[in-house]
Amino acid sequence: MWIITTIALGFLIGVLVSAPMGPVGVLCVRRTLHRGRREGLITGVGAMISDLLYAAASYKGITMVLDFIYRYEFFLQILGSLVVLAFGIHMYFSLPSYDVVDDGKSKSAWKLMTSAFFFALGNPLIAFVYMAFYSRYNFVPDTPTLGWHFVIAMLSIALGAISWWFVITYLVLRLKENVSVGGLRIFNKILALVFIGISLVGLAMCLIKFT
């Protein structure tokens, strides 16, 4: 009985954590529009792997998560800001289109997944989101161990996250015909400036905090 409950709750948590349309969600949507659904799904997989690391750490308890975040806080904040900055600059100067056929400049699946992984890894606060859901649904046993419950829990969370990205990429392609190329270019530039602004503020705050 506990297996069914764990799978159901894990699936739900995976969906709920992935659902907010933050920078990773925008990256997934953009790649789906520009390159195709396969690239969008690969992006979702990269983000899911990053989130799963925080999910696994959160499973073992608040102490481990806090120690990890405090120990690498400066590195994670700098990394996240630089990734967002690079993405914003690239987005601003890119020319979006609906041509999703890969060319010589297309990134490999490994590069797409890796970039999404580090993009999501720059948000360590996701660990607190997992802990909140764990507490809300009483998801973790009183004495958590790296046993079958842990394995099933992590696989269920991963399945929920992948299912969410699967649905999102499908809906994006279904609605693609209603979005003009000109409108997409304007949206890209505005969004790029927002990303650049957020990254610069984040870098400045990080340097001020740790100096």
Segment 49-105, tens digit of pLDDT: 998 988 888 887 655 655 666 677 777 677 767 766 876 787 778 665 544 444 435
* Long-range Cβ contacts of 142-146 (<8 Å, 24+ apart): 144/59, 144/60, 144/61
Could you list the residue range(s) of the whole structural domain that residue 199 is in? Answer: 1-210
Q: How confident is the model at residue 163 (pLDDT cuts 50, 70, 90)?
A: very high
- Residue environment code for 186-196, b if the CB has 16+ CB neighbours within 10 A, otherwise e: eebeebbeebb
pTM over 0.75: no
**What pLDDT score does 104 carry?**
39
Please say if the pLDDT value at position 9 is more than 60.
yes
**What pLDDT score does 106 carry?**
55
DSSP letter for 210, please: T
Say how many domains are in the chain. 1
Helix (H) or strand (E) holding 32: helix 23-34
